[in-house]
Structure 1
Amino acid sequence: MLRSAASRTSIPAFKAASQRHLVDGSRRWIQTKARHTRKFGQHGGHNGNTTALVVTAAVLGTCVAFARTADIHNDAKLELEGGRIDPMLARGTEVWDGENLRSLVWGSNRSRVLSPTSKQIELIRTPAVATWLDGVALRDLQLHETYGACVDGNGDVYQWGDGFHNGMVPPKGHGLPPRLTLKGKSIVQLQLTENKIFALSSSGHIYVLASRALDQIKAPGAPTPSSDGWWGTGWLWGEDQAINFAQLTSNEPLNWREKFTSIAAGKDHLLALTSTGRTFAHPISKKANTHGQLGFTNFAVPDPAATIAGLPGAHLHITLTPKSVSDPNWKASRSVRVASDSEKQLGDEDLAAVHDKRVGFCPFIYEVPALRGIPVEQIAAGARTSFVRTPNGRVLGWGANEFGQLGLGDKVTLDTITIPTEVVLWRAISRDLDTNCTHIAAAGDLAAFIVDRSSQFNASYSELLMTGNGQYGGLGNNIHTTAQSNASHVKAVSGLQQFNDKTQRLEPIKLTSVTISPTGHVLVSVDSSADSNGVGGDDVYIWGRNFEGELGNGKKSSLATPLNVALEPAPYTGVSFEGLPVVKGPIDPVRKDQRLMLTERKANEVKDLKGHVWKRGVKVRQSVAAGYGTSVVYWKIVV
């Protein structure tokens, strides 16, 4: 991360104090000068008054210049009424020091997702310090539209935001602080949806809990389903908790020592990957298979009638057929389409009495049949799409494709792909180049692929390819288009190379990560610090939708080309004639490079969200998270 002058004094307070001292000092100087003028006026004559006027003008000019240059984007709205600063946020100029762990946030805060206890701040259009995360490093952090959740060093889950505290009245209009909801499970990864949170533990168990606090209330006397997704034996092992949650159970027993290692959630479906490379999927709601994104159609849910009758073992076997399969003309106008008996999906009537917002909607997770026997290295889920990456760098995708988000090419015009199909990432390149996909990412209606191109004749290089809906510039190719089915490369961050003095050859500048928000803005980190002896880090580029200030550039216009994430420049401080600090200019001439860079370090101490020291000497690195119109850079614990 960029290192700059650190100060715990707020900018408005510092400005007011500096102005007050300057004005008071100028008054005392002028009064002294006036006494000397009256006493020695016969010698000074007209020159004494002229000197006083000149000094007065100079001092006032300094005050005016300071007031102009020290202001930092009024639309950032970090101030509350009366000029007070929100205690949960700080200016970007106050972020950098070599000791504390500081996290940055910017974008929409209407639901208090970025600053939980804020009172009036709605938009943060430039990166600001989230002081409520000072000294904290997390295992994971995820943001949804109206709430957020994270995992601290203990592996406990915290939630916050207006969507989580729905129905609770905050004191005097302020929000409520993060609340501990799931503890003692050693959680390592979270995935958020509108009504549910999915949590993966270090032991490979997948838990599901409600996204709202009121929905987490456990019925009196009800057991906690902590040992399995169904019977609830938490009381036997002393694992009972105050909230209601469930654990997903595989429809087929896992192999010896096999466990779930990764999860990825779309809008209504969940993907999971095991340690042996098997891919599973789970229906989150009744809309889980509208475009075949599950990879199967049949699953079981608890029978509500049997549960009421006291027979918890009964299930309903449901078939969710994709709309394009059950009714090929479902998009046609009803005035011209032919009435179809299959207009309703099979299972709609059976599901009418089933509440899919409850954590026990479906307690099972199923292996994707078409991927049996195919080892998978990574999974990714868009809003209605699913992707897997194999160990040899191939990519398969299925689900919604009306914006070309699967990247299957312009010859595939189907809106729905129900069978995992290979995404060809080597179109329009030389046959001498070998292509290997190293990372995939998806969210909303966008998908991204990091690929390495290599040949025996030329130096290798890394590229970022994107597909899907680029209406707000999310494709990063300087074009605003609603559909991109051929994977197009983002030119500004693709094909970059640098000369290595040690090896005396060109080496690729690698792309290390891609993060896509559900609303369509993209953050990419590029490792340009190879062989720099630890100086620098990963440059962060950002582009796409910018309606809520999520690009952090102080504007509200979307951007179709990558832009460096910039921070507020540190003011250049000097010393006044009274020995007081005073801002002489808007930018420190020694620190001209103000771009954000992600770094890795060993923290002296790491705190949990309760403010207690969790552990000392912990290796941490900065990581990026993106939500609905929000962006966060936080410290993540390196496992």
Structure 2
Amino acid sequence: MDVKVKGADTNRGRSDAELTTLVWGANKMHVLEDDLPESVRVPTPSEWFDNVALRDLALHEKHAACVDARGDVYQWGDGFFGNEPGSSHGKPRLTLRGKNITQLQLTGSRVFALSASGRIYVLSARQVDQALPTGAQTPASTPWWGTGWLWGEEEEVDFAEISPNEKLKWGERRFVQISAGTDHMLALTSEGRTFAHPVTLNANSHGQLGFRKCDVPAPADIKHMHLPHKHPRVQLELTPKSIADPYANAAPAFRPSGSSTRNLDLLIGKDAAEAGLDDSNIRFSDKLFEIPALRGVKVDRIATGGRSSFAKTTTGRVLGWGANEYGQIGLGANVTLEAITVPTEVILWRATPATVRTTCVDVFAGGDLTMFEVERSDGSGMPYIDILSCGNGQWGGLGNALYSNAQSTPVRAKNVSGLLEYNEAAKNMQAIVPETISISPTGHVLLTLDTRKHAGPGGGGKDVVVWGANFDYQLGNGKRGSLPTPTVLQTPEGERLMLYRKKAKEVRDMQGQVWKNGVEVEQRAVAGWNNSVVYWKICQ
């Protein structure tokens, strides 16, 4: 069936597309589209993605990226094209091709790409920094000679591969998930091992890496990383700021003399301070390191906030570490530390009867906000799903109908917790499960309720529930003003915005070429920096 979105701004010169991407919110950096205004008040079609279904899409403050149906990466936004005189914003540009990419994660300076074969690549977030090094046939670092010369394919942009510092175990063939914060990245292997990667020298500012000691290439050799010889390495000791300078937040009268000047030796180690490392280069760090405290702990889901990290085990428990000044780790009111430097279990069954079993199903994070999807069951009644939130809710992002800038004990989000629905097939009541939650680093939340699963024959789509910050119309209701209570997204005409799954007649790549016919696709909601996108995703 064709999906028509009532209430969306369709008064644009455009053809009728079977697959339409909807965008709304802040567009100052042209991450939504170059022809749209700086503020898009309601869900509006984007001409860039007519009849296009993607593998993944990621938004940052000044740049964005996507993976098209062929597994190629495209980048755009003012932060990507640059603001130099004579430069202009434009349509998404092909950057990384032929790597069969499935997932993207963005930081302010990097684009991390995970391939179907489990390799992790990194590109610069700026077009000007993607020029190939002089004399480099291919930037791929393993193997150093690449394959481009064999088939006559020259790489057009500079990129690097990030590999584990130790060989993966027999049968542990690949990485299956990546998640990036502001300055660090986590990666999960097919066997449930958790690795971390320092993106910049601030990667462990609050203990979010899970370790202090690692090594990086010596600066003098970064330019020659593509050449086949061993390179000297520099030892890093990334000490959390709360340990390197315990008086950082103290009043001047209580600070020891000289402590106001940040001691670089204490923060990154003497060798690194003397080496003059440049963490703006994509080859600043080329390795992933297993988190020591999680050795032997089988993990099936990872998530990162801006400066925090989370790992969900296969047994339904959650460990968190990193920044905690807003209570975003969720350790409760008795833990007042601003930085949790060791993975620590988050207790999700506080204030529940002893007979109720609580299992974490998923964990989501963004900025200084964290959400846990948990299943509750007492063994007698129907299990139900709760959404628990913690962290910075000063714009209503906690979803508990309150504005609070610090919440250390996970609280139950209203209107999306404990929901039950009659299942036509099973002829009984069953829990409504959130399909996915997208948390913006700037404080708004998009949650997709899987109301379609139990709808029966002719059932409709999935509801989008929104709440949190709304200064740039990022909640899509055409109004400004934050919402502290989860609310079903409605168009100005009062119609619910539903997300659908269907078989598309044809799917095109980002070049406009037909990729395949009869492809199963579904709509996916993504919360960006003060903006939101609903795009068509290829079903795996």
Q: Which residue of 2 aligns with 1:322?
A: 240
**1:491-528 CA distance string (max 9 Å, x none):** 21111112335544321111111110110100111122
Partner AA of 2:197 in structure 1: H
In structure 1, C-alpha distance between the alignment counterparts of 2:359 and 2:385, rounded to whole Å: 10
In structure 1, C-alpha distance between the alignment counterparts of 2:307 and 2:5, rounded to whole Å: 45
- Which residue of 63, 70, 77 maps to 1:161? 77
Q: Which residue of 2 aligns with 1:226?
A: 140
Partner AA of 1:489 in structure 2: R
Q: Which residue of 1 aligns with 2:120?
A: 206
Unaligned ranges ≥5, structure 2 = none
Q: Which residue of 2 aligns with 1:400?
A: 323
In structure 2, C-alpha distance between the alignment counterparts of 1:106 and 1:249, rounded to whole Å: 37
In structure 1, C-alpha distance between the alignment counterparts of 2:252 and 2:269, rounded to whole Å: 20
Q: Which residue of 2 aligns with 1:480?
A: 403
Q: Which residue of 2 aligns with 1:446?
A: 369
Distance apart, 1:176 and its partner CA: 1.1
Q: Which residue of 1 aligns with 2:130?
A: 216
Unaligned ranges ≥5, structure 1 = 7-71, 79-84, 570-592
Across the aligned residues of Structure 1 and Structure 2, the Cα RMSD in angstroms comes to 2.4
Alignment check: 8 A CA contact 2:2 2:18 kept: no
Structure 2 residue matching 1:203: 3-state secondary structure: coil
**1:40-72 CA distance string (max 9 Å, x none):** xxxxxxxxxxxxxxxxxxxxxxxxxxxxxxxx8
In structure 2, C-alpha distance between the alignment counterparts of 1:209 and 1:602, rounded to whole Å: 33
Q: Which residue of 2 aligns with 1:334?
A: 252
| TM-score normalised by the chain length of structure 2 | 0.93
In structure 2, C-alpha distance between the alignment counterparts of 1:340 and 1:432, rounded to whole Å: 55
Partner AA of 1:612 in structure 2: Q
Q: Which residue of 2 aligns with 1:192?
A: 106
Partner AA of 1:108 in structure 2: A
**1:346-401 CA distance string (max 9 Å, x none):** 43662462111110000111010100111001000000000011111110000011
Distance apart, 1:301 and its partner CA: 1.4
In structure 2, C-alpha distance between the alignment counterparts of 1:534 and 1:282, rounded to whole Å: 47
Alignment check: 8 A CA contact 1:2 1:594 kept: no
Distance apart, 1:216 and its partner CA: 0.3
In structure 2, C-alpha distance between the alignment counterparts of 1:308 and 1:187, rounded to whole Å: 26
Task: Name the one with the larger strand percent.
Answer: 2
Equivalent runs, 1:423-462 vs 2, <5 Å: 423-462=346-385
In structure 1, C-alpha distance between the alignment counterparts of 2:186 and 2:162, rounded to whole Å: 12
- Which residue of 172, 197, 202 maps to 1:282? 197
**1:594-621 CA distance string (max 9 Å, x none):** 1111211111100011111011111111
Alignment check: 8 A CA contact 1:224 1:246 kept: no
The 1:3–1:150 alpha-carbon spacing in structure 2 relative to 1, beyond 3 Å, is closer
Alignment check: 8 A CA contact 1:301 1:361 kept: yes
Distance apart, 1:554 and its partner CA: 1.2
Q: Which residue of 1 aligns with 2:514?
A: 613
Structure 2 residue matching 1:615: 3-state secondary structure: strand
Q: Which residue of 2 aligns with 1:16?
A: none
In structure 2, C-alpha distance between the alignment counterparts of 1:488 and 1:596, rounded to whole Å: 27
Equivalent runs, 1:169-188 vs 2, <5 Å: 175-188=89-102
Alignment check: 8 A CA contact 1:285 1:357 kept: yes
Distance apart, 1:440 and its partner CA: 0.8
**1:93-117 CA distance string (max 9 Å, x none):** x9xx8x70111100011111001x3
The 1:2–1:510 alpha-carbon spacing in structure 2 relative to 1, beyond 3 Å, is farther
Structure 1 residue matching 2:407: 3-state secondary structure: coil
The 1:636–1:502 alpha-carbon spacing in structure 2 relative to 1, beyond 3 Å, is closer
Q: Which residue of 2 aligns with 1:149?
A: 65
Tell me how many residue pairs correspond in the alignment: 529
In structure 2, C-alpha distance between the alignment counterparts of 1:2 and 1:425, rounded to whole Å: 42
**1:6-39 CA distance string (max 9 Å, x none):** 9xxxxxxxxxxxxxxxxxxxxxxxxxxxxxxxxx
Equivalent runs, 1:386-397 vs 2, <5 Å: 386-397=309-320
Alignment check: 8 A CA contact 1:133 1:609 kept: yes
In structure 2, C-alpha distance between the alignment counterparts of 1:388 and 1:303, rounded to whole Å: 31
Distance apart, 1:626 and its partner CA: 1.4
Partner AA of 2:481 in structure 1: S
Q: Which residue of 2 aligns with 1:260?
A: 175
Structure 2 residue matching 1:132: 3-state secondary structure: helix
In structure 2, C-alpha distance between the alignment counterparts of 1:308 and 1:193, rounded to whole Å: 22
- Which residue of 532, 536, 539 maps to 1:635? 536
In structure 2, C-alpha distance between the alignment counterparts of 1:269 and 1:339, rounded to whole Å: 32
Q: Is 2:525 the partner of 1:624?
A: yes
Alignment check: 8 A CA contact 2:425 2:456 kept: no
Partner AA of 2:162 in structure 1: L
Q: Which residue of 2 aligns with 1:525?
A: 448
Alignment check: 8 A CA contact 2:240 2:267 kept: no
Alignment check: 8 A CA contact 1:623 1:635 kept: yes
Structure 1 residue matching 2:395: 3-state secondary structure: coil
Q: Which residue of 1 aligns with 2:268?
A: 347
Q: Percent identity?
A: 47
In structure 2, C-alpha distance between the alignment counterparts of 1:2 and 1:422, rounded to whole Å: 46
The 1:234–1:360 alpha-carbon spacing in structure 2 relative to 1, beyond 3 Å, is farther
- Which residue of 380, 390, 396 maps to 1:467? 390
Partner AA of 1:218 in structure 2: L
The 1:2–1:553 alpha-carbon spacing in structure 2 relative to 1, beyond 3 Å, is farther
Q: Which residue of 1 aligns with 2:42?
A: 126
Distance apart, 1:627 and its partner CA: 1.1
